[in-house]
Amino acid sequence: MEDESKKVERKPDSSMKVVQKYVDMAKYVYIILRNFPRSEKYTLAADIRRDLWEAGTMLERASVVPAKSEKFRLLEQADMKLSELKFLIRMGMELEFVPFDKYTNFSGYVTEVGRMLGGWLKFVRQ
C-alpha cells in the first residue's frame, strides 16, 4: 500500500487558470452589456458577445488539443479575438454605453488574460 505522505499533489494546469480568468472576464462583460441601450442589442452588443464566445471556445479547445501546432494556432486566434474584444468594448465606452470605471476594470481583466495567454503561447512555441 502506498504511503499517504509520499503522494505528490498535482498543481493545477496553467492553461485552466487562463480559461478560468477568461470566464471571470466574460461574466464581467455580461454585466457591462446589461447597460447597453436596446438599439445596440443586435449590433455592437451582439458583436461583443460573438467575439467573447469565439475567444473562449478557442482557449478551451487549446487547453485540450494535443498537437502543439494546433494549440499554437488556436492561441494566436484567441489573442486576435481578445484584441477585437478590447476594441469593441472601447467603442462602447466612447459611445458612452460603458462607464469609464467599468471599462477600467475590464481593461484589468484583459491585461491579465493577455499576459497569461502570452506566457502560454511562449510555452507552446518552445
| pLDDT, averaged across the chain | 89
Percent of the chain topping pLDDT 70 = 89
pLDDT beyond 70 at 5: no
pLDDT of residue 116: 94
Task: Give CA angle at 27 (83, 47), nearest 5°.
Answer: 45
24-45 per-position pLDDT tens digit: 999 999 999 998 999 998 899 9
- Using an 8 Å Cβ cutoff, are 103 and 90 in contact? yes
- Using an 8 Å Cβ cutoff, are 16 and 63 in contact? yes
- Quick one: DSSP state of residue 38? G
pTM, entire model: 0.83
pLDDT beyond 80 at 14: no
DSSP H or E stretch at residue 21: helix 14-33
pLDDT beyond 60 at 100: yes
Q: Which of 19, 120, 4, 20 is nearest to 71 (CA)?
A: 120
